[in-house]
Amino acid sequence: MKAEPDLTGRRQDAVEAAAGGHHPQPRRRPWRQALTGVGVQNISLLIALAALSAGIGSRNPDFFRVANLRGIGTAVVISGILAVAQTVVIILGALDISVGSVAGLASVTSAMVFTSMHSAAWGIAVALAVGLLTGLVNGVVIVFGRVNPVIATLATLAAYKGLAQLVSNGRAQGFTNADSVFIFLARGSVAGVATLIWVFALLALLVHVMLRFTDVGRKIYAIGGNETAARLAGVNINKYVLGVYALTGVFAAVAGILITARTGSGQPVSGSEGLELESITAAVLGGCALRGGKGTVAGTVLAVLLLGVLTNGMTLLDVNPFWQNVAKGSLLVVAVIIQQLRSGERRIGVPS
């Protein structure tokens, strides 16, 4: 991201020079160029993040302590991974509300396989496979069953949660806190940065590169932006819908494995409930348009941090945890309202 403005700048000049005299050449100032490089949405998020941090910090100086900031960092990882996956789904013009249930199912799977095979690698591998499979099932139901994505994943939200409860009998499973791999995932660090954060950063970077620099990303934006246009331009839409849901399943499984590592056992429900709401809120707050075709990983990551700071701040300031749920729900609505206002949507009927 950091090298970006310079690169864009050079490209732009080349075009304008090549475009010749009859093209208007707006004067570009460096700060303006930097602004367009980062994006108005992201600037607003950065300002909000700074303001919120300053506000919380001034009321409780503990906020700025390194331990607390590290705590925020690790706390946002699980919902952050899901938010990044959700970003891709939303850019495609769809929604996946089953991510929390998939994470729960993957969590119990990883712990139970670990317990019976005595191998963290097997536990993780099987959990990832389960994630892939559940994601593919979502995609197949949507593409070949012609089911609206919200309805399809609402159904699997319930079904996968049920499956997780069935295999685990509704109880936390296994004990992973003695295994070095799980300990490394939960509490280890590399180069002074927590493993959890590395995992999140790596996955976010991966998706960022895919969306921004590959033809796969271009096609995902195209499908979300205008499905007919993409189809007529020869994009195999079904393939991409299946692929994106499979990817989301795998990401949800990673989140589930991290839940197991952090809590020390497989959690069918308790570690993953509400994650669908958090991931969608973060993606929308980060600038993803719910109608598709618009959004960035950078925006989503900033929004994830903002939400993390907000949650942490509410805890530090002793806000009743029940109010925190109300705040999270309100935030999603506010984020969408801001977006709709910016896009100039007319206030008639049920919004699409």
Partner 1 sequence: MTADPVTVRVERLAKQFGPVAALDEVTLDIRAGEVLALVGENGAGKSTLLKLLSGDHRPDSGRLLVDGCPVDFRSPADGRRAGVRVVAQEPEIIPDVSVAENVHVGALPLRGPFVDRRALFADVDAQIARLGFRGIIDSRTPGRLLSAPQRALVEIMRACTGTVRMVAFDEPTSSLSAREVAALFALIARLRAEGVAVVYVSHRMHEIFEVADRVAVLRDGQLVGVRDVRSAAQADVVQMMVGRDLSALFERTPRRPAEVALRLRGVSSGDVADVDLDVHSGEVVVLAGLVGAGRTVLARAVVGDLPIRSGTVAVSGREVRLRSPVDALRAGIALAPEERKADALLLRRSVRDNVSLAVLGRLRRMRFMRARAEQVLVTRYVRQLNVRTPSVDQEVRKLSGGNQQKLVLARWLARRPTVLILDEPTRGVDVSAKAEIYAIIDELAAQGVAILVISSELPEVLGLADRIVVMRSGRVVGELARADATEASVLALAMPGAEVGTAL
Residues that bind partner 1 (CB under 8 A): 8, 11-12, 14-16, 18-20, 22-26, 213-216, 218-219, 221-222, 225-226, 228-234, 236, 289, 293-294, 348
Q: Which is nearer to partner 1, 3 or 178 (CB)?
A: 3
Give how far Cα 337 sits from Cα of 47, 285, 311, Å. Answer: 19, 10, 21
The least distance separating partner 1 from the CB of residue 212, rounded to whole angstroms, comes to 9
Cβ neighbours around 315 below 10 Å, total: 15
The least distance separating partner 1 from the CB of residue 305, rounded to whole angstroms, comes to 25
Cβ neighbours around 1 below 10 Å, total: 14
The least distance separating partner 1 from the CB of residue 24, rounded to whole angstroms, comes to 6
Q: Which is nearer to partner 1, 112 or 284 (CB)?
A: 284
Bridge partners of 193, per DSSP, are 190
Q: Select from 80, 96, 324, 325 the least CA-distant residue to 204.
A: 80
Q: Which is nearer to partner 1, 48 or 237 (CB)?
A: 237
Bridge partners of 266, per DSSP, are 173
Q: Which is nearer to partner 1, 19 or 151 (CB)?
A: 19
Q: Which is nearer to partner 1, 7 or 202 (CB)?
A: 7
Cβ neighbours around 34 below 10 Å, total: 15
Q: Which is nearer to partner 1, 224 or 271 (CB)?
A: 224
Given phi > 0 = left and psi -120 to 50 = alpha, else beta, which region is 95? beta
Degrees to nearest 5, angle at CA 227 with 299 and 303:
10
Secondary structure (3-state) at 266 = strand
The least distance separating partner 1 from the CB of residue 326, rounded to whole angstroms, comes to 33
Rg (CA), the chain: 21
Q: Which is nearer to partner 1, 41 or 53 (CB)?
A: 41
The least distance separating partner 1 from the CB of residue 83, rounded to whole angstroms, comes to 21
- The set of residues, in sequence order, having a beta carbon less than 8 Å from that of 277 and lying 6+ positions away, is 328, 329, 332
- The set of residues, in sequence order, having a beta carbon less than 8 Å from that of 263 and lying 6+ positions away, is 172, 271
The least distance separating partner 1 from the CB of residue 343, rounded to whole angstroms, comes to 9
The least distance separating partner 1 from the CB of residue 289, rounded to whole angstroms, comes to 7
Q: How many residues can be counted in the chain?
A: 352
